[in-house]
Each structure stands twice: as C-alpha cells, then as structure tokens.
Amino acid sequence: MEREPRLRRHTWGWKLARAFVMALGFVCMVAFAVALARATLVPSPASVSMTHTNLHPGSSIRLYFDQPDWRDTVKQVGGNIVLGVPFGFLLPVLFPRTRGLVRVVLMTALVMLTVETAQGLLVTGRAFDIDDVILNSAGAFLGYLVLGRRLGRALHPRRVRWWHPRRPEPVVAEERPAGLWRRKRSADSASGAEKPVASDTDQATTSKRARWTLPASLRAKRP
C-alpha cells in the first residue's frame, strides 16, 4: 500500500512551496551570474604573457596535472568543475524544458562556450580554452545527478512523451448504498415477487436459438 504524500500537488501549500523554491532559485541564479562574470570577464593585464588559446581538448588538463604542486592542480581542475555545478540544479528548477541530463550538459556547454569566446575576443589577459568548457560541463553533470534531477521532478510534473501514451484510468463501478439495497430486498420479499430460475434445458435452448438467429440487418434483406 503506497503512502500518501505529505504535501499534495495542486494545493495551495504545494503552490506556495513551489513558488518559494523557484524564487530562491532565481535569486541564486542572479548571484551566480554575477560571480561568474567577475571570475571570467574581469580583465587581468598581469597575466597577458601567460595566457594562450587552446582549441585542442585535453591539452590544458594535462598541463594542470603536470604541475609540481598538487594544490595548483586542485585549484585549476576543481575550480572549473565547481563553477559548472550550479548549472546542474538551477536549470531544471527555473527552466523545465531543460530537464534531462543531456539538455543540462548541452545548455551549460553552450553558455560556457559563449563566455570563453567573450574572454578570448574582448577581455584582456583572458583566452579561449576548450578544456574549461569541458570541465564546466562535467560540473553541471555532477550537479544534476546529485540534486538537479530530484528538484526538477519535485517542482515540475513529468512530461508525457508521444511514444508513451497515457493509460486509461480504471472505471470504478458505482456502489449502491447498503440501506437502499436492504429496502429493495425487503420490498421484494413483502410483495412475494420472486425471479424465476431457468432450467438447464431452457438455458440450452435459449443459447442455441440466439446462436442461429440472424441479425436484424440481414433479416431485412431476405425476400
């Protein structure tokens, strides 16, 4: 026997909780956008000589792991992964159409690809790096698996696919009140009306007659 949910959908309590969570998610998205802009779009003239464009996936990641100090590796790799985690649980909350692991990862990759392009073309001391996009997308992947999938299902109803048709709801027979049934039986007993019981011979004759009787449409066509 399934337990009833504590807070049913389409009730005022559920609607208020859903609106509060979505408003909180919007505030977090705005704060995250500001932090992302400060971390990626602020010019850094001191690092002009150290930046270079990377269009080969995996090149920068190998350089990160070849650094002598492991803390620099954690800072570069972990920082880019953490930067993409908020996409994994904010996108399913604010944009129901982006629910799904593939959609979240693709949307994150598209946004970060735009940011990296702006870095390489407009910001001094920044360069385009395809490995940053890969690490950010990996962070969105983890964020969706940990929290985004549950939040998306809790706040938004499931989408019905065209290849998964809706199942018809079972028809429940109308129940007759017990008091009405008793009154009907008592009335039949008082009037003495009893339903005749057909014998086995009568039942066999009736079934045979119904089997060989032509339908009304065919009987009308006969001369």
In Å, what is the CA distance from 216 to each residue of 54, 205, 206, 209, 213? 84, 20, 18, 14, 9
3-state secondary structure of 54: strand
pLDDT of residue 5: 46
The mean pLDDT of the chain is 77
pLDDT band at 206 (very low <50, low <70, confident <90, very high): low
Closest CA to 126 of 196, 27, 41, 3: 41
CA torsion 184→186→187→191, rounded to 10°?
A: 140
Residue among 142, 140, 133 nearest 60 (CA): 133
Lowest mean pLDDT segment, chosen from 31-35, 148-152, 154-158? 154-158
Residues 93 and 144: their CA atoms lie apart, in Å, by: 11
Span 25-54, pLDDT tens digits: 899 999 999 999 988 888 887 777 778 888
- For 54-73, the pLDDT digits (tens) are 899 999 999 989 888 888 89
Rounded Cα distance between 119 and 110, Å, is 14
- Which residues are bridge partners to 129 per DSSP? 54
Query: CA-CA distance, 144 to 138, in Å (whole number)?
Result: 10
Highest mean pLDDT among 10-14, 171-175, 191-195: 10-14
Q: How far apart are CA 98 and CA 156, in angstroms?
A: 11
Checking if the pLDDT of 159 tops 90, the result is no
φ, ψ for residue 99 (rounded to 5)?
-65, 145
Asked whether residue 96 carries a pLDDT value surpassing 80, the answer given is yes
Higher pLDDT, 13 or 213: 13
Structure tokens at 169: 């709801």
- Strand-pairing partners, residue 54, are 129
Radius of gyration of the chain (CA): 35
Per-residue pLDDT tens over the stretch 117-147: 998 888 888 889 999 999 999 999 999 999 9
Distance CA 119, CA 33 (A): 15
Percent of the chain scored above 70 by pLDDT?
66
Structure tokens at 197: 């019981």
Q: For the chain, give the percent of residues with pLDDT over 90.
A: 30
Read off φ and ψ for residue 204, nearest 5 degrees. Answer: -65, -40
